Amino acid sequence: MRVLLTGAAGFLGSHLAERLLKEGCEVIGVDNLSTGQRRNLDRLVAYPGFRFLQVDVARPLEVEGPLDWVLHFASPASPPRYLKLPIPTLLVNAEGTRHLLDLALKKGARFFLASTSEVYGDPLVHPQPESYWGNVNPVGPRAVYDEGKRYAEALVTAYHAHFGLPVRIVRIFNTYGPHMDPEDGRVVTNFITQALKGEPLTVYGDGSQTRSFCYVDDLVEGIVRLMEVDYAGPVNLGNPEEYTVLELARLVKEITHSPSEIVFKPLPQDDPKQRRPDISLAKRLLGWEPRVPVREGLLRTITYFREVVAQGFA
């Protein structure tokens, strides 16, 4: 297959690109490097089937030759990053999605949208099934990401209904693993980096809010399986094993043998109190569920971060 993948220099995009390249696909990786990392491309350029384009998909994109898939994984994804880049975040999910849908139509390609559990906002239903419409503040600080992704889902669904474009939508819950940016501000990277440096682990609120953490290899497996089925509706992919943020902080301290203390700071506005996927659909449709336990995934991630911190990247 010949695949165009946006966000190829990002954490998840680079893992997906490598999986597709190993399976013999030709991958045209696209990224404007606003939040992606060049070092994530280093392991991809060794594959003869990889080509990189540094462009902003919020503008129309032209690609020579045929395409089988357009995979849209470009967007700032951590709150500190999208709060610093509010307009680009909205544009990559709105205009970027539109331009890439038009490209897929032109090429006769299938389209895949990386959406997010953030479309559920601060959920009033727990765990969250795909049928839940969410509880999102449309004018809150997180709206640039939450509403951007909700709009992208609506646009993809409209192209499918109006033009018959084959589409897939994945709602991704918290994912972690090697090649995350140590400074992206997400809870796993924060805790690991702080623990390895001997700095206080920062917990926002009282730490009772919950998250569900899925190891990146499990997530990529689910994405590849979704590419292989004909289903246009959104599909949750994530780990239904639920942790409080305080439990995660203590687990990272234990695994890293860090002397760091845990400190508490005020909870950011609209921070979800709980987040856990209902993956019944993924189990039924894809025969998928996570395989890597959180402790094992954290061990692998911490091993990678030890090298990154030692090299001065964080």
Name the segment(s) of the chain with CATH classification 3.40.50.720.
2-175+215-237
CATH class in words for 177-210+241-275+292-310 = alpha beta
169 bridge partner residues: 113, 234
Phi-psi region of 270 (alpha: psi -120 to 50; beta: other; left: phi over 0): left
Residue 293: other Cβ atoms inside 10 A: 12
H helix count then E strand count, the chain: 11, 13
pLDDT digits (tens, 9 = 90+) for 84-103: 999 999 999 999 999 999 99
Let me know if 204 is a catalytic residue: no
pLDDT for 217-274, tens place per residue? Answer: 999 999 999 999 999 999 999 999 999 999 999 999 999 999 999 999 998 888 889 9
**Model confidence pLDDT, tens digit, residues 112-123:** 999 999 999 999
What is the DSSP-derived secondary structure letter of residue 312?
T
> Mean pLDDT over residues 183-208, rounded?
94
pLDDT category of residue 294 using cuts at 50, 70 and 90: very high
Terminal C-alpha separation, the chain:
37
Whether the per-residue pLDDT at 312 is higher than 80: the answer is no
Inform me whether the pLDDT recorded for 314 exceeds 70. Answer: no
Strands (E), 80-200: 110-116, 167-172, 175-176
| pTM (predicted TM-score) | 0.96
Domain with CATH 3.90.25.10 in the chain: 177-210+241-275+292-310
**Architecture of the domain spanning 2-175+215-237:** 3-Layer(aba) Sandwich (3.40)
Residue in 82, 120, 145, 176 annotated catalytic: 145
